[in-house]
Amino acid sequence: MHLLDGTMWRLVESRAWDAEGQPLPAPYGARPVGQITFVHGRMLAALCNGDADVGDADRGFSSYGGPYTFDGTTLVVMVDVAADRSRLGGKQVRNVVLEGSRMLLRPPLRRYGDAQQRRELAWECVWRADGAAHGG
């Protein structure tokens, strides 16, 4: 079985830094909500800011999926479904660090709104097709 295939993860933390490495507010708030599933060679992710009140700020939402490849450190998803139609036909590339039942996804430095940011998403494994459940 492929290392990620047959797993489901929940988002537990999001972090961001500006281009100079200075910390920024968590992109998906203090209580992020998200799920990512890898099955049959496909990935599907949906995530948003789960805070009860975001005031005038954008809630922050992302969802996309498609066939993926994973070489142990780099995840590449060929996007064929997305809430943001501009992603269709493109690639989403993430550096991946697996630490026990946790997975860190690190997109490359890119523009979010009017600023360059580096982000990191921490996920906890909640289900594996082999029957082993993790997290809580």
Query: Domain with 23 in it: what CATH number?
Result: 2.40.128
pTM of the shown model: 0.89
Task: Please indicate, yes or no, if residue 21 is contained in any of the structural domains.
Answer: yes
Q: What is the mean pLDDT of residues 39-63?
A: 91
Domain count, the chain: 1
Give whole-number Cα distances, 82 to 64, 77, 101, 114, 132, in Å: 4, 12, 27, 22, 29
C-beta separation of 102 from 13 below 8 A: no
Whether residue 1 has pLDDT greater than 50:
no
**Distance in angstroms (rounded) separating the CA atoms of residues 18 and 4:** 30
Q: What is the pLDDT of residue 135?
A: 53
Give the model's pLDDT for residue 114.
83
Residues 115 and 119: their CA atoms lie apart, in Å, by 12
What's residue 58's pLDDT?
Answer: 79
CA 83 to each of CA 46, 65, 88, 122: distance values in angstroms, whole numbers, following the listed order = 9, 10, 9, 21
Mean pLDDT of the 78-87 span: 96
pLDDT confidence band for 18 (50 / 70 / 90)? very high
| Residue 55: domain span | 7-128
Give the span between the Cα atoms of 135 and 58, in whole angstroms: 29
